[in-house]
Chain A
């Protein structure tokens, strides 16, 4: 079982990003995903900055993956996506494709990629198509259960040819889940700012904006065009169950610098083959994996 760090989904100052990855370089994370996946207006870091971080992390022995935007609307975004893909191909980095447009560019370039969780791979036959396009790793949709994942992994094995590239499965072990993508920016909307004059207000919310129901239940975390879960998914104590069902990589989302402590705790647990990583609290949820609504906590 390997550990990965998801891309930073919130808008952090450039300095904070560099500092985070300096620390991450020393962590037990095996794989580090980099890049802006949410909003093309977030340009604290240029493409070259991301590649600079990538090189530093690679020097420290990390596997680096460049992640793409998930919702690609404007011509300029498509152009930026193409640049990211081509530069990754040139420099030999894997890319996390979060939209079919990225798969188009990467498969044309005959470059392997990671199929992100927004690509809606709900069955083995879909996975086979994406693998044929060049995926060597995939992330199931966040709403998929452990049983559903197990079905796909075994269904895929039945479809696989002997000479096919093997495919790894990665799931979100810890972090707020991105539940939806919109054209509308909800952070700007909360301030009554037009999206085109957002004043980069997301910088003021390095962990997103909490949204509660009128009786106080935290239901969403707003992050620009993303609506994330109010609760943080925590499957860490079930990491052995995920392994048994075919998971190869557990992903942890950078929410703050504490996430590197969580990486350490998970790494220790994996080395000792123990299930105790991080207890479930009221701030957490694990419903999707356990076949109930995503926000709930299943007794495990």
Chain B
């Protein structure tokens, strides 16, 4: 079971490598990747440095080119694929059919991983990508229950990677336009969700309001901890009741079901968070490395460490974690 870790900067990359990543994924400095945030990601020079570092430690480097290419700028996605190949990335993580079509035609030896943004949730969909683009791995959306993950993995159409820890998208990734509905910018086209430039904090008496492009996402009383206004985690009113209509601020943590994922034949665990700090990456990667090693040593007797869970919760949105869709009651 491979541990795949995020890096939005060279220091984070080095931390991931040093703390036990088997592979680290990065993106270039434009909207060809799904974490297109100011100050993040890799230019040519830094990407080469990252690769050198990875090679020196026997770690793999993957490049995420996993937004959807717009017709007017299609060349940008093509250039990004060529760049990833030229500098020697071990795999391309892609969502757009055109990007995979181009990559498989022009670089037949390149490993293509279907990004979570590709939204393939069942083995028949995966077969389409295997037949057409010879993908080598698929990252499954965070909408499947553990049983459904087991079924997809058991079909053995392609190697399966699942999310282990980090921010929780509660919608099928690649099929969510909530952000562009409110702001005009979405993960699919711009590589952003609830972008910071649309965020506004407004103090109204005792109450702190968070807004996204002027839409009220949440109101916080003085004793409540305010969170970033990711629009699916706001409090809205439905049927006269005000509550976290879609989801509470929380993060995904699947440490507790690691042996089941391993037994299902899941080939890789992904840690989310290219937007996170090097310190965050170091700590989270280190805990997951220890956990996977402990699980591999004795899968039947695996137990999580209370300290790990506590530390991971401390890194989580709203200081709480969930198994998300892996657990049927959550759904």
Give A contacts to B, CB under 8 Å. Answer: 70-75, 77-78, 81-82, 99-101, 103-105, 107, 118, 120-126, 128-130, 133, 141-143, 148, 151-152, 155, 177, 179-186, 189-190, 194-196, 209-215, 217, 219-220, 222, 227, 229, 287-288, 291-295
Chain B residues with CB under 8 A of A288: 180
A77 and B124 alpha carbons, distance in the complex (Å): 11
Chain B residue at minimum C-beta to C-beta distance from A179: B177
A179 near B101 with CB under 8 A, answer no
Q: Determine which of A81, A214, A292 lies in contact with B216 in the assembled complex, contact meaning CB atoms within 8 Å.
A: A214
A222 near B238 with CB under 8 A, answer yes
Chain A residues with CB under 8 A of B325: 183-184
A179 and B145 alpha carbons, distance in the complex (Å): 22
Q: Determine which of A72, A124, A181 lies in contact with B125 in the assembled complex, contact meaning CB atoms within 8 Å.
A: A72
Q: Determine which of B96, B219, B331 lies in contact with A183 in the assembled complex, contact meaning CB atoms within 8 Å.
A: B331
Chain A residues with CB under 8 A of B183: 293
Chain B residues with CB under 8 A of A78: 122-124
A142 and B121 alpha carbons, distance in the complex (Å): 21
Chain A residues with CB under 8 A of B238: 190, 209-212, 222
A148 near B71 with CB under 8 A, answer yes
B180 near A194 with CB under 8 A, answer no
Chain A residues with CB under 8 A of B70: 122-123, 148, 151
Chain B residue at minimum C-beta to C-beta distance from A210: B238
As a 0/1 sequence over residues 213 to 252 of chain B, the CB contacts with chain A under 8 angstroms (1 = contact) are 1011111000000000000101111110110011100000
B101 near A293 with CB under 8 A, answer no
Q: In the complex where A184-B331, A186-B246, A295-B182 touch, is A215 in contact with B216 (Cβ < 8 A)? A: yes
Contact of B317 with A by CB under 8 A? no
Q: In the complex where A104-B125, A118-B175, A183-B144 touch, is A195 in contact with B71 (Cβ < 8 A)? A: no
B154-176 residues with Cβ-Cβ distance < 8 A to A are: 170-172, 174-176
Q: Determine which of B216, B242, B246, B247 lies in contact with A217 in the assembled complex, contact meaning CB atoms within 8 Å.
A: B216
Chain B residues with CB under 8 A of A292: 184
Chain B residues with CB under 8 A of A213: 215-217, 234, 236-237
B127-135, B256-264, B292-300: which lies at the A interface?
Answer: B127-135
A118 and B232 alpha carbons, distance in the complex (Å): 19
Chain A residues with CB under 8 A of B245: 186, 189-190, 211, 220, 222
Q: How many A-B residue pairs have CB under 8 A?
A: 217
A143 near B236 with CB under 8 A, answer no
List 22 A–B pairs whose Cβ atoms lie within 8 Å, in order of A's numbering: A72-B121, A81-B124, A100-B125, A100-B129, A101-B128, A107-B128, A123-B96, A125-B98, A180-B178, A181-B176, A182-B171, A183-B142, A184-B246, A184-B330, A195-B331, A209-B238, A211-B238, A213-B215, A220-B245, A227-B232, A287-B184, A294-B181
B215 near A141 with CB under 8 A, answer no
Chain A residues with CB under 8 A of B213: 293
Q: Determine which of B72, B120, B186, B236 lies in contact with A211 in the assembled complex, contact meaning CB atoms within 8 Å.
A: B236
Contact of B21 with A by CB under 8 A? no
Contact of B328 with A by CB under 8 A? yes
Nearest CB of B to A157, in Å: 12
Chain B residues with CB under 8 A of A107: 128
B246 near A227 with CB under 8 A, answer yes
Q: In the complex where A73-B145, A123-B96 touch, is A143 in contact with B186 (Cβ < 8 A)? A: yes
Q: In the complex where A143-B189, A183-B331, A212-B237 touch, is A104 in contact with B101 (Cβ < 8 A)? A: no
Q: Determine which of B178, B189, B234, B235 lies in contact with A179 in the assembled complex, contact meaning CB atoms within 8 Å.
A: B178
Chain B residue at minimum C-beta to C-beta distance from A185: B331
A73 and B143 alpha carbons, distance in the complex (Å): 8
A101 near B125 with CB under 8 A, answer yes
Chain A residues with CB under 8 A of B98: 122-126, 129
B148 near A73 with CB under 8 A, answer yes
Q: In the complex where A121-B97, A155-B71 touch, is A196 in contact with B184 (Cβ < 8 A)? A: no
B242 near A180 with CB under 8 A, answer no
Chain B residue at minimum C-beta to C-beta distance from A288: B180
Q: In the complex where A180-B172, A190-B238 touch, is A120 in contact with B144 (Cβ < 8 A)? A: no
B120 near A100 with CB under 8 A, answer yes
Chain B residue at minimum C-beta to C-beta distance from A191: B239
Q: In the complex where A72-B125, A105-B124 touch, is A123 in contact with B69 (Cβ < 8 A)? A: yes
B97 near A130 with CB under 8 A, answer yes
Chain B residues with CB under 8 A of A71: 121, 143, 172, 175
Chain B residues with CB under 8 A of A130: 97
A122 near B236 with CB under 8 A, answer no
A126 near B96 with CB under 8 A, answer yes
Contact of B74 with A by CB under 8 A? yes
Nearest CB of B to A102, in Å: 8
Chain A residues with CB under 8 A of B119: 118, 120
Centre residue among B95, B182, B218 by max chain A CB count within 10 A: B182
A100 and B234 alpha carbons, distance in the complex (Å): 31
Nearest CB of B to A186, in Å: 7
A121 and B99 alpha carbons, distance in the complex (Å): 11
Q: In the complex where A103-B128, A148-B71 touch, is A73 in contact with B144 (Cβ < 8 A)? A: yes
A100 near B128 with CB under 8 A, answer yes
A130 and B128 alpha carbons, distance in the complex (Å): 11
A143 and B184 alpha carbons, distance in the complex (Å): 8
